């Protein structure tokens, strides 16, 4: 009987993961379309300024607001699993998120000069879009945390899909002539989180009834005081992984902007799309891989240890084959395909595209090994590997050798290879901390899944 219940739970979780994967994959594809349309319809400098705006916004929200999203998702899942009301976690998380948003608002006003003049080329409209977008994402990430913790994956995917659709529609409006100019395209970055929140009333519908039912049940030890420190070890490690991920994928355009200007930032952003775009395809694997590995790791059945290793080997072999095919395509027609995707405003270097393609292969393999580390309870050591790779990338880009573009390209590929090597060494040395072991269907498993998926969305 217990085995049947577990199997039913696994099927339910698999269906939910599939719906989440579809929503996030579609969102990632629409984000790609947004930048393709923007690149085709804006001049080099205007497009580069939109890229800088995007990169600055997402680095900021990753540092400020994703910790609360992860903490909220975990704590709500724990409370609901124990039949406890979630009102207290919602209130405390809202207080934390509002405090962080207010702190950002004050800092943005105090630093308006450097932000507007140095980062955003003196564009007042882009400055206000940046400030408003970051504040709007505070609400969006709060909603994501609630939906994830409640395991309402359909609504979670709908929120991401609505956000990406709204953002893409602004670039599409410029492409078809309904609107024009940089501001119209950039407005999609702030309109997306604002309008996507229309799904939130559906999320909170019925919560009061569930809380009343939960209150009637006996309280358990889970009803301890909730704070940002609650469960902070695992959450902090996942946060470090996310921030390092943002550094590898978004710091390049910002570094190039500082030395070569906005147009150059747009160019290197497009080149790094070779690494970003496959994440959409990899998402279906990433979403399902962690629960699969977690269940194998937790099972005492004969052969599950070998099945764990085989799953990793097969996934990495598939990634290697995919990277080889992409490399061949890039070698034959890489520059031409990039111009078809993003317009003919930039001339792409075949060698640079191949370097980033190699980095993409290492990066996707790192994602697989990272899921294995999380399933084995090696989250802190995995986070250390990510931080080391991110720091190496930043330090490399401060060394005055090569031109700016080649430094970012080689730096990304090198950092991805370093990350892959460190995570492989970790995979070969499975020393675990019991408190970091991810249990099947646990809030930690959910938290790690969402972290792995966040970059695509």
pLDDT digit string (tens) for 1-34? 444 544 444 455 455 555 666 667 777 788 888 9
180-205 pLDDT, tens digit per residue, is: 888 999 999 999 888 877 766 765 55
Segments forming the whole domain that contains residue 407: 231-457
pLDDT digits (tens, 9 = 90+) for 240-299: 888 888 888 888 888 888 778 888 888 888 888 887 777 766 765 666 676 667 777 765
Any domain includes 3: no
CA–CA distance, 288 with 13 (Å, rounded to integer): 9
**Residue 265 Cα distances to 36, 47, 274, 276, 427, angstroms:** 15, 9, 15, 16, 36
Residue that wins the pLDDT comparison between 51 and 445? 51
pLDDT value of position 152:
76
181 and 295 in a single domain? The answer is no
Q: Is residue 6 part of a domain?
A: no
DSSP code of residue 111: T
Question: Distance between CA atoms of 101 and 61, rounded to whole angstroms?
Answer: 10
In the structure, what pLDDT confidence band is assigned to residue 432 with cuts at 50, 70 and 90? Answer: low
CB 243 within 8 A of CB 388: no
Are 191 and 264 in a shared domain? no
- Percent of the chain scoring above 70 in pLDDT: 75
Q: Is the pLDDT of residue 71 over 60?
A: yes
**Measured between alpha carbons, how far is 437 from 449 in angstroms, rounded to an integer?**
14
| Same-domain status, 281 and 172 | no
On whether residue 90 sits in a domain, the answer given is: yes
Average pLDDT score, the chain: 79
Domain count, the chain: 2
Distance CA 80, CA 7 (A): 21
Q: What is the pLDDT of residue 172?
A: 94
Q: What is the pTM of this model?
A: 0.78
Lowest-pLDDT range, 71-80, 160-169, 218-227?
218-227
The closest of 21, 361, 415, 378 to 245, measured between CA atoms, is 415
- Counting other chains too, the contacts that 419-423 makes at CB distance below 8 Å and 24 or more residues apart are 419/248, 419/362, 419/363, 419/366, 419/385, 419/386, 419/388, 419/389, 420/362, 420/363, 420/365, 420/366, 420/369, 422/385, 422/388, 422/389, 423/366, 423/369, 423/370, 423/373, 423/382, 423/385
Confidence of residue 407 (pLDDT cuts 50, 70, 90): very high
Q: Do 211 and 236 reside in the same domain of the chain? A: no
* One domain for residues 273 and 398: yes
pLDDT of residue 209: 44
Statement to judge: residues 47 and 87 lie in one domain: yes
User: Which of 198, 230, 262 lies at the terminal end of a domain, its last residue?
Assistant: 230
């Amino acid at each position: 009987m217990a085995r049947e219940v577990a199997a039913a739970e696994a099927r339910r979780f698999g269906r939910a993961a599939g719906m989440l994967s579809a929503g996030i994959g579609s969102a990632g594809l629409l984000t790609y379309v947004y930048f393709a349309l923007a690149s085709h319809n804006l001049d080099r400098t205007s497009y580069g300024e939109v890229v800088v705006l995007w990169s600055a916004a997402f680095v900021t929200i990753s540092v400020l607001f994703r910790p609360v999203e992860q903490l909220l998702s975990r704590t709500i899942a724990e409370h609901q699993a124990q039949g406890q009301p979630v009102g207290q976690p919602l209130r405390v998380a809202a207080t934390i998120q509002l405090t962080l948003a207010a702190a950002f608002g004050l800092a943005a006003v105090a630093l308006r000069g450097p932000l507007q003049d140095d980062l955003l080329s003196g564009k007042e409209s882009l400055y206000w879009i940046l400030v408003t977008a970051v504040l709007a994402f505070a609400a969006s990430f709060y909603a994501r945390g609630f939906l994830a913790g409640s395991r309402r994956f359909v609504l979670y995917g709908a929120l991401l899909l609505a956000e990406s659709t709204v953002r893409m529609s602004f670039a599409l409006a410029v492409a078809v002539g309904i609107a024009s100019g940089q501001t119209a395209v950039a407005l999609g970055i702030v309109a997306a989180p604002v309008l996507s929140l229309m799904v939130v009333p559906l999320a909170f519908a019925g919560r009061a009834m569930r809380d009343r039912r939960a209150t009637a049940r006996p309280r358990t030890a889970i009803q301890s005081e909730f704070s940002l420190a609650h469960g902070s070890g695992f959450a902090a490690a996942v946060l470090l992984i996310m921030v390092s991920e943002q550094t590898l994928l978004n710091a390049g355009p910002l570094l190039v902007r500082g030395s070569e200007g906005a147009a150059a930032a747009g160019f290197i952003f497009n080149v790094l799309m070779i690494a970003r775009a496959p994440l959409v395809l990899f998402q279906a694997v990433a979403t399902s891989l962690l629960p699969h590995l977690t269940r194998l790791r937790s099972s005492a059945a004969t052969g599950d240890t070998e099945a764990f290793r085989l799953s990793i080997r097969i996934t990495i072999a598939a990634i290697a084959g995919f990277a080889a095919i992409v490399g061949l395509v890039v070698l034959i027609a890489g520059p031409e395909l990039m111009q078809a995707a993003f317009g003919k405003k930039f001339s792409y270097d075949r060698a640079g595209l191949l370097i980033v393609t190699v980095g993409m292969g290492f990066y996707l393999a790192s994602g697989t090994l990272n899921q294995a580390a999380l399933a084995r309870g090696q989250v802190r050591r995995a986070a250390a590997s990510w931080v080391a790779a991110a720091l190496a990338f930043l330090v490399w880009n401060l060394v005055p050798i090569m031109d700016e573009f080649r430094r970012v390209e080689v730096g990304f590929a090198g950092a991805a290879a370093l990350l892959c090597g460190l995570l492989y060494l970790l995979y070969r040395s499975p020393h675990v901390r019991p408190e970091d072991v991810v249990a099947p269907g646990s809030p930690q498993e959910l938290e790690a899944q969402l972290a792995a998926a966040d970059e695509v969305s």
